[in-house]
């Protein structure tokens, strides 16, 4: 009976051997792919960050390619690590260059009916005087339409009574 049990056990082990080998190598293969992906992603992220809002593309790193979008402003970089191996990893990131036809926001001029206050107190303007035009001093309240950063982003600069970009920076429609 022991010989039969031994033979059956060895037969099962022989049949299962390739699966056991795959299971023992899987963590090693996964680690190598993860390492290669980290290298590819690092190259893609670094390149995208360095080129964001620039006027021209920088030289490409090794094993990377750039594809361009409409009007040659939006781009995507794809970097490959360990090409032509079974451990190949690819990472990509998107970025935008400055639009050469867009007007520089620092140069853009808007004309408003009212002059902005010299400074803002941080207090919200009262209801009924949403822009604080009835202010008695040069310190102004924060206008209700731009009280928070979210409200500022949702607002339309064409409806502002005076320039409030000092509160939250340049508006995307400015």
Tens digits of residue pLDDT in 11-37: 776 676 666 666 677 888 889 999 999
Distance CA 59, CA 78 (A): 14
Note the pTM of the prediction, 2 decimals: 0.49
Q: Within 13 Å, how many C-alpha atoms sit on residue 58's CB side?
A: 17
Tokens of 103: 């007007």
pLDDT band, very low/low/confident/very high, at 107 (cuts 50, 70, 90): very low
Read off the pLDDT of each residue in 56-82 and give the average, rounded to a whole number.
88
> Tell me, what's the pLDDT at 82?
93
Query: How far is Cα 110 from Cα 80, in angstroms, rounded to an integer?
Result: 47
């Amino acid at each position: 009976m022991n010989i039969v049990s031994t033979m059956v056990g060895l037969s099962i082990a022989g049949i299962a051997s390739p699966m056991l080998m795959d299971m023992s190598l899987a963590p090693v293969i996964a680690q190598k792919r993860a390492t290669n992906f980290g290298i590819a992603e690092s190259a893609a992220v670094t390149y995208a960050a360095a080129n964001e809002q620039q006027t021209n593309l920088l030289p490409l790193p090794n094993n990377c390619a750039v594809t361009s979008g409409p009007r040659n402003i939006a781009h995507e970089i794809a970097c490959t690590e360990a090409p032509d191996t079974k451990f190949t990893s690819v990472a990509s990131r998107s970025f935008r260059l400055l639009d050469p036809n867009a007007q520089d926001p620092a140069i853009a001029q808007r004309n408003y009916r009212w002059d902005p206050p010299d400074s803002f107190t941080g207090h919200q303007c009262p209801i009924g005087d949403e822009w604080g035009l009835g202010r008695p001093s040069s310190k102004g309240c924060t206008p209700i339409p731009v009280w928070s950063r979210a409200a500022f982003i949702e607002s339309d600069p064409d409806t502002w009574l005076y320039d409030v970009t000092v509160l939250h920076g340049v508006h995307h429609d400015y």
